[in-house]
Amino acid sequence: MTDLLRLPLTDLVHRLGRRELSPVELMRVTLARIAATHEQLNAFVALRDESALLADARLAEARIARGEARPLEGVPLGVKDLEDACGLVTTHGSLPFKNNLAERDSLQVERLRAAGAIVVGKTNAPEFGWTAITKNLLFGETRNPWSLDRTPGGSSGGSSAAIAAGVVAMATASDGGGSVRLPATFTGCFGLKPSFGRIPHGPDALWVTIDTAGHGPLTRTVEDAALHLDVTVGEHPLDPSSLPHPGVSYRSVLRQLKPSCRIGFSPDLGYAVVQSDVAETVETAALVFQELGHSLEIVKGGPPELGRDWGFANAFESAAKLHALLPEHEGEFGRQFIAGVKQGWQMTPERWAAAQRRREELNRWCADVFARYDLLLTPTAPYDPPPAKGPFPTELEGRRLALASVASFTIPFNLSWHPAATVRAGFSKAGLPVGLQIVGPRHRDDLVLQAAFAFEQARPWAHQWPAL
């Protein structure tokens, strides 16, 4: 039955729809797999009542029997513990929120449920999604199924570990600076940060001012991600930044990549330090597009390095959300997390203005790149996943690393709003997955998916997953 849980989401949907697989059987197998892998992975941190889950599965089975199946009918769904699912606690991986019971679904979860998915439980995340290492004081660290002493990344690390280890085929994820793409890379999955606003955000008690974060699919295949998007995209009145429905099914256009794209490749964005074997693996993967008939050119230079600006902006917004809990509950937060949040008080008009000028430099650089190229390729993560408990490396092959070095290639496209995906490029010398990032023009999520799908067809990866 473990092999069943390693199937792509689209294969499971097909089997369920043809009644070759029962939603009840699938739910039982999923719950058994969660229990069997929990001690090793710690991917799921909360579950709904088993009897309620089996009742939902029976309802899904009846719908399928009546010919009324919805696109995700009977599919077990994990929800990242930064996102609300009605009836479950949203802890944000934080002790002061350990009893924060959600009274409604997030907009994304609401749409996934409406498409027939069955929420099973919550997947682990770092405290308020702050780091690319998934650990917190409430639930401890989540581990990478490829190497249990390593992190599966963050902040969507519980989701990525569960998908890569054959626990569930579908789990939600979100990306504020790489939190879909980095865990997808570290676990060999596919991950997409869509154009800003593509999947509606919220609802939130506080109007969101930091416009870098969004939900995105983290899956086993590109087609799985397209299916996820097809049932979640489209504007919503509770999210003023949400984009209108694109008017097409992403899944239906996957095979429509034009035959000769102009593709730029930046091995370092002009500033990043990259592990040598990771760099070699990514360059080899980029050349696949040349083999497919597309032009490939090296892009020299790059945008300004914006990791520190990004960090200060997020600290400022986090301080706005949490200041009412301080100082009474300060000791309950993780030390590093709350120290980072308190940097938000150092934000000044001068610092804000300087950051916005650098962001405009990034915007101009991106405009120039996409005037010359249809797509941009880079590494996704610059080095192998760090240890499960941390820390991040401060030096790499004799070169000093910046504070946010793990997100050197991902942060720019959160700040610029461009869609960016990661595909499995191969493996490092340590036998760990390496990611190739594919970036497209704003609102061209379809083009990014098409390029990712073409790469996946040329270099298939979804048949190869770690054995626990």
> Which one, of 103, 102, 114, 35, lies nearest residue 75 by Cα?
114
Cα 282 to the center of its chain, rounded Å: 20
Query: Which of the following is catalytic: 80, 122, 135, 193?
Result: 80
Residue 453, helix vs strand vs coil:
helix
Q: How far apart are CA 283 and CA 285, in angstroms?
A: 5
Q: Return all residues near 385 (Cβ < 8 A) that are at least 6 apart.
A: 144, 147, 150, 151, 152, 153, 186, 432
Which one of 156, 174, 179, 195 is the catalytic residue?
A: 179
Buried b or exposed e, range 108-125, using 16+ CB within 10 angstroms: bbbbbbebbbbbbbbbbb
C-alpha 246: how far from its chain's center? 21
- Rounded distance, CA 315 to CA 352, Å? 12
428 assigned to active site: no
Residues 6+ apart with CB under 8 A from 331: none
How far apart CA 124 and CA 135 sit, in angstroms, is: 8
Closest CA to 367 of 442, 287, 288, 279: 442
Identify the active-site residue in 106, 147, 155, 159. 155
CB 224 within 8 A of CB 335: no
- DSSP assignment string, 49-77: -HHHHHHHHHHHHHHHHTT---TTTT-EE
- Strands, E assignment, 174-223: 174-175, 190-193, 214-215, 218-219
In contact, 218 and 125? CB cutoff 8 Å: no
> How many CA atoms does the CB half-sphere of 323 hold within 13 Å?
10
Helix ranges (H only) for 73-179 are 107-114, 157-164
Q: Any idea how long the chain is? A: 468
Active site residue 80: yes
Strand partners, 376: 264, 439
**Longest Cα–Cα distance in the chain:** 64
**CA 294 from chain center: how many Å?**
27
- Cα distances (angstroms) measured from residue 187 to each of 58, 317, 461: 32, 30, 12
Q: How far apart are CA 313 and CA 351, in angstroms?
A: 10
Active site residues: 80, 155, 179
